[in-house]
Amino acid sequence: MILLLRNVTASTSKVLPIPVGALAVTGRMLSFAGVQGLALPAGSMRLTGYAVTVSVPGVEAAYPTVTLRIEAETAPGVWADLSTDLVESVGVSIKYGIDGHGPTDSVASPGVLRFGLRNDAGCSGGVLGFYSPRHPDKRPGWTFGIGVRALLTSTAVGITNKVKFRGKVYGIDPIPGRDADRIVVVSAYDGMRDLLDADVRSLATITDTDESAAIEDVLDAVAVSAQPVARVMGYGTNAMDVVFNDLEGGAKALQVIQDLTVSAHGKTFIKGDGTFVYANRHEWGSLNVVQAVLTGAELSGLDAPSSIDATWNLVRVTVHPKTVSTTPTETLHSSVIEVHPGSTREIWCDYTDPIDRQTHVGGTAVNTALVPGVDFNATVDREGIGANLNASITTATLAAFSSTGLYTLANSGTDTAFVRVNITGKAIRDLGAQTMEAGSVQNWQQVLDIDLPYQESTGFAQDLADYVENEWSTITNQVNWVEFWASRSVTLMGHALNREPGEQITVSERVTGLDDAPQVIQSVEITIVDATRVRCRWGLTPASSLGVPWMLDSGELNTDFLGL
């Protein structure tokens, strides 16, 4: 039997026979010095690993390989290695970061890890259904919501157990059937999913803050189990007079973080290792430090805009100035709460404008020292004209938040009590949207509307409109994404394992005319087919042509802006 290896070089002949009595094949490629092929008698060749690479003493393989390790936190602080049960045919895919590449794509979506595990009796547990969450013989500690992480090692790059994804198990899909593959397909999401689900309407109104501090307030308000494993917070660039005044009816943490991020034109994402990152508009792109240079010869795929759909030559930016009452005497809420005898009721009451009860307002300096007959009044009837039952209301408390209050009322009497409550404090009103715009005259028009919920400065709005229109009125340096096989070289493997959102690269490609186009990584996607085939895709957005965006903030030049 003859095994013909291509992409092999030698010094004397095009086909070089080599006896391989003890030759171990452990990878995919060989590199000699100068020839097209190598013929090997393979009578006693030993093949191991995912794919075939021949290893000859004194000759190094041309392509780097990667070792994957999947771990699950089956008990607090205990990480179990699942790697021996991985199913190669399913593959492993990792994706995290900010979807899209436009000027308003600022906050990451939940990142995803997907892989398959053996679920037959031949798995590491030795029983059928070892990874089925309902099975009586399931792996101890294996269930939904536990931690999971993917670690990558490449000795050629000098990287060992690099955490490229950390999150929680959200989906476990066993494939049943006598003739079907007995495997489970596992889906895990990173910390952005926790923030997507976490309610934060219990935030208090914050005044005189900045976007970075306010985002930290949001993270602190969610349950400890939903908080990111680590944080890296850029400094705040925007003074914000009032935040969290619009959370009536409940609000999710990620939506509030998005409103704060967009209002300061920053970026928020989670890195592969689970670290939550807020990068302000100065820090995004690492201040023009280029971390990778990619050319067409290295790329297996590239997508760049080819129409005006990705350009905007009329940009409108809307801000929301607010006013706060001078005295804490406005009635922010008034209603009647029914409390049955011997029961305790908790009820949320949103703040509304006493001038127009259909309009929601924020609140601050809210009175929580409730006095019977003043702040609440209990009677036997809803109209409030019957017998007084204030003595039966043994508990009456109000927890005041930014847009709503939580009453706790206990009725120890024998009659149903109708309790009329009044919440008083300072009202925070949105004075109405103010919009600034910037545009240029071309043979077409594309309009982009940007709303900044927590921004009040029209100066900032005008500067942002000017900046976005200047950067996005042409497709010249726009690239949606690039893709490459990391296994092709040590350099590319290093980029695949090391690069994260927020880092700057350049892209050159002759067909599209891209020439050292400066880009910032928005998202990372890695597909591991096997040890020798690792594909990486980066979602991109153009780096600022100004270096660092320059803007006026609240009418004064912020000296941290150095772009012009």
CA nearest to 108, candidates 92, 118, 96:
96
Q: Rounded to the nearest 5°, which phi and psi values hold at 459?
A: -65, -45
pLDDT of 548: 52
Render each residue's pLDDT in the chain as its tens digit; 564 residues: 334 343 434 333 334 444 444 444 444 344 444 434 445 444 444 444 333 344 444 434 468 999 999 999 999 999 999 999 999 889 999 999 999 999 999 999 999 999 999 999 999 999 999 999 999 999 999 999 999 999 999 999 999 999 999 999 999 999 987 667 899 999 999 999 999 999 998 898 888 999 999 999 999 999 999 999 999 999 999 999 999 999 988 889 999 999 999 999 999 999 999 999 999 988 886 656 899 999 999 999 999 998 999 899 999 999 999 999 999 999 999 999 999 999 999 999 999 999 999 999 999 999 999 999 999 999 999 999 999 999 999 999 999 999 999 999 999 999 999 999 999 999 999 999 999 999 998 888 999 999 999 999 999 999 999 999 999 999 988 999 999 999 999 999 999 999 999 999 999 999 999 999 999 999 999 999 999 999 999 999 999 865 555 444 433 444 343 332
In the chain, the amino acid numbered 521 is I
- Which region holds residue 101: left if phi is over 0, alpha if psi is between -120 and 50, else beta? alpha
Q: Which residues contact 92 (CB under 8 A, 6 or more apart)?
A: 68, 70, 86, 113, 114, 115, 150, 527, 528
Token readout for 338 is: 């029914």
pLDDT of 553: 46
Q: Which residues contact 125 (CB under 8 A, 6 or more apart)?
A: 137, 139
Distance CA 464, CA 194 (A): 31
SS3 call for 417: strand
Angle at 107 between CA 104 and CA 112, to 5 degrees: 130
CA nearest to 298, candidates 547, 97, 479, 535:
535
CA nearest to 526, candidates 254, 163, 186:
163
Distance CA 187, CA 193 (A): 12
Token readout for 274 is: 């689970």
pLDDT of 546: 55
Residue 390 is classified by DSSP as G
Q: Rounded to the nearest 5°, which phi and psi values hold at 540?
A: -125, 160
Distance CA 361, CA 423 (A): 13
Q: Model-level pTM?
A: 0.83
Residues comprising the chain, all counted: 564
SS3 call for 323: strand
Q: Which residues contact 311 (CB under 8 A, 6 or more apart)?
A: 305, 446, 472, 473, 474, 475
Distance CA 217, CA 200 (A): 10
pLDDT of 169: 97
pLDDT of 99: 95
Distance CA 80, CA 71 (A): 5
pLDDT of 444: 87
pLDDT of 249: 80
pLDDT of 545: 61
CA distances to 148, 430, 564 from 76, rounded to whole Å, are 12, 46, 51
Distance CA 550, CA 54 (A): 55
CA nearest to 226, candidates 246, 200, 249:
200
Token readout for 152 is: 């990558």
In the chain, what are the domain boundaries?
A: 1-62, 314-321+432-473, 324-430
Distance CA 201, CA 192 (A): 18
In the chain, the amino acid numbered 287 is L
Integer Rg of the chain from CA: 30
CA nearest to 148, candidates 74, 59, 257:
74
pLDDT of 286: 60
Instruction: Residue 491: count other Cβ atoms within 10 Å of its Cβ.
Output: 15
